Amino acid sequence: MTTPEQLREQAAVKIQEAHESFERCDTDGFLSQWAHGVEASRLELEARIVEAGGLWEFPALFDLHGALVPAKQIQTQYGTRWALLDPANPDGRFRGFFGPSEAATSKARKASDARRGGFFVGLVRVPARAVLRGSTAVNVRAVAERTDGCWDPDAEVVCNGQGEDLKNGLGGVYGRYYTE
């Protein structure tokens, strides 16, 4: 297994290669300079994931009792939505969809999600890796990607909107859709 220090050394090499390319070619080597920089950011993120024990935090869907709902985020023509999965066959057809509220305030979003779907968007900590994502050179970036198939009933729950989260006023603060 590669250590965070080794990954950071590899990232530093990529940055140095980009610098050397610029010195050699000025802006004629822009594509290789860009590629070295993007790969350096991926290696740096991978180092952070390794330091966190190979785990990363991701949004997850919970019911109003705090139970993890079999669901995964997907991109649709209407933006990011939750695809509801069959617990007996998570790789099968979706059982439905849930589109989180886009209300102006955190309180309104939480209330709307609870009323419309009976859901809360919280966080889980699951195995991850760093990958490059994007469709053009302008938007390629390093992101953490789940390695568990986007749904794991045994995922470590970070925030499910119940118990101490609510008592401490944290219900929804962690969720992607509930930040102000």
β-sheet bridge partners, residue 145 = 129
Global confidence as pTM: 0.76
Which segments within 47-178 are labelled E, that is strand?
55-63, 71-76, 79-84, 96-98, 119-133, 141-146, 156-159
- What are the residue boundaries of the structural domains of the chain, listed by start? 4-51, 55-178
Tokens encoding 164: 């101490």
pLDDT tens track for 2-39: 888 888 888 888 888 877 777 777 666 677 888 888 99
* C-alpha to C-alpha distance for 99 and 180, rounded to whole angstroms: 18
Q: Are 61 and 35 contacting, i.e. CB atoms less than 8 angstroms apart?
A: no
pLDDT tens track for 123-145: 999 999 999 998 887 889 999 99
β-sheet bridge partners, residue 125 = 57, 156
The Cβ of residue 118 has, within 10 Å, a number of other Cβ atoms equal to 13
pLDDT tens track for 140-172: 999 999 999 888 999 999 988 776 655 454 444
Q: Are 99 and 81 contacting, i.e. CB atoms less than 8 angstroms apart?
A: yes
**Local confidence band at 87 (pLDDT 50, 70, 90 cut-offs):** confident
pLDDT tens track for 45-73: 999 999 999 999 999 999 888 899 999 99
